[in-house]
Amino acid sequence: MIDLSSLARPWKPKRHRGLRNRIVLNSVVILFVLVIATSYTAFASFDLARSVEVLFRNSVSMEELRNTLRDTQENLTGYLSAKNSESLKDFIRTSTMLTGMMMRLNRENKSDDVFLLEKDLAFLVDSYVASAEGAVQAKRGRDVAQYVSLYEDARRTSALIEFLSTRIDTIHLGQSLKGFLSYKTNISLALLSNGILLLVAFLLSIALIGRYSYTITEPLARLSVAADAVARGEYDHPLPPYDNEDEIRTLHDAFGNMQESVQRAFAEQTRKAELERSLMEERMRVLTYQHRLKDAELLALQTQINPHFLYNTLSAGWQLALVEGNEKTAEFLEKLAAFIRYALKPSTRFVLVSEEIECVRQYIWLLKLRFGERFRFRLEVQDDTLGYETPALVLQPLVENAIVHGLRDFEQGGDVIVSARLDADTVRLSVSDSGRGMPKESIALALAAADPEDTTPQHGIGLHNVVRRVALATGGKDRVEIESELGHGTRVTIILHAEKSV
């Protein structure tokens, strides 16, 4: 599973308000036009409503004043005529309300006539309350002449209040009717103007909405097309640029970053899959190396016919030769037994170069015993190389290969040179001969043994086996080189990394 979150680069969305601001501005423009279109009608309606409100408010206040005055007068009359305590309570209550209404008069700016009338009305109400309360006090003091006189003053003042409040109602009604007639005169013009403004506002709104909807939906449509392409697997689908700094720019950049993250994720997944495939191939090569190494060990064992029996027999022959006093035969048997003992050890082991050179010396002694002076052998060994390690039994098969194949047609004068030298960080072990050489096909066939996939049939433990064992024993780090020219000999060089034995 692809973890996009670990591959995506860090990204923090920008706060843009451009799109919101454009929508708000568009709405404000449309609303402004609509406000202009309806303002005239609104103001005219407000004038009419205000006139009606003033009419009804003043009418209601005057009506409440008259009603309260009548209640107060009735309660006063009831108390003075019967001295009823309930009437007294009601009088106190209604007279208090009447005083409160008087205090509210003249609190608003009015025309001069209305202002003066309300001041007069307030004076009369104040006088009425004073007379009424004086009559009540006189009644309590049993001053009959006094409360009768004050009662008459209160009654006359009450009539004046009734008349004056009615007069104020009439004035307010006239003013309201005047305002209504003015509104009625201009209502047709107001409706026509309002209709024109509404039409202009509608057309302008349509134009603005069309323009802004295009600027908003067009980049979103392009993003939708790109998203459909990504859904189809086209992760490199081009995304048209978008330059405005707004919320769509944020979406645009986020989508672009998502595309890049997905592409990087798939690239990383592909790289990981390739790496896993390489690791799997490497494991298969190691398993193949191990398998081929086992084959080489098996092949080496197949060449050893009852090795311990052969070694014990040679040891018995060496002892017998010593008993009989045949020192030459004893030396032969001794060196042959030592060579076989070295050769019978596991072919996959590592030995010192000095041990490998000693094995070659013994083998050369045996060859000289067999061939006499027919071939010339020379060892060119640097002492610095003796302490390094090498796969076992790699030089003797090369010497044998040089004698059996390279010099087999020579009756006299064949040269075999075994060398060991240091070259930078490598140890170079080589066997060269002056024989007939090898064709290129044979060289290629021998070197192919280093490939773990090579299935060429092996015969004995000669050159082919040496090439394979060097490659398998060192995991492919070391190699064998073959230089040859037909009629001018062959040189086989084993190139090893210089690693000294601890």
Q: What percent of the chain has pLDDT over 70?
A: 69
Residue listed under structure tokens 């006063």: 76
Question: Is 496's pLDDT higher than 90?
Answer: yes
Per-residue pLDDT band for 343 (boundaries 50, 70, 90) equals low
What pLDDT, in 10s, does the model give residues 283-318? 777 776 666 666 655 455 444 434 544 555 555 565
Per-residue pLDDT band for 127 (boundaries 50, 70, 90) equals confident
Per-residue model confidence (pLDDT) at position 47:
61
Per-residue model confidence (pLDDT) at position 45:
63
C-alpha–C-alpha distance, residues 171 and 291, integer Å: 125
What pLDDT, in 10s, does the model give residues 199-214? 877 787 788 777 777 7
Q: What are phi and psi of 476, to 5 degrees?
A: 85, 0
Q: Are 490 and 435 in contact (CB under 8 A)?
A: yes
Q: Is the dihedral of CA 401, 406, 409, 412 positive or negative?
A: negative
Q: Which of 197 and 157 is assigned the larger pLDDT?
A: 157
Question: Is 109's pLDDT higher than 60?
Answer: no
Q: What are phi and psi of 409, to 5 degrees?
A: -90, 0
Per-residue model confidence (pLDDT) at position 235:
65
What pLDDT, in 10s, does the model give residues 138-182? 888 878 788 888 888 888 888 888 888 888 778 777 766 776 676
Q: Is the dihedral of CA 490, 432, 402, 371 positive or negative?
A: positive
C-alpha–C-alpha distance, residues 187 and 375, integer Å: 139
For the chain, the average pLDDT equals: 76
The answer to pTM > 0.85 is no
Question: Is 329's pLDDT higher than 60?
Answer: yes
Vertex 478 angle, CA 473 and 479, to 5°: 105
SS3 sequence, 139-207? Answer: HHCCCHHHHHHHHHHHHHHHHHHHHHHHHHHHHHHHHHHHHHHHHHHHHHHHHHHHHHHHHHHHHHHHH
Per-residue model confidence (pLDDT) at position 323:
61
Domains of the chain: 18-224 (1.20.120.1730), 344-497 (3.30.565.10)
C-alpha–C-alpha distance, residues 44 and 187, integer Å: 8
Q: Which run of H or of E encompasses 102? A: helix 85-104
Question: Is 417's pLDDT higher than 70?
Answer: yes
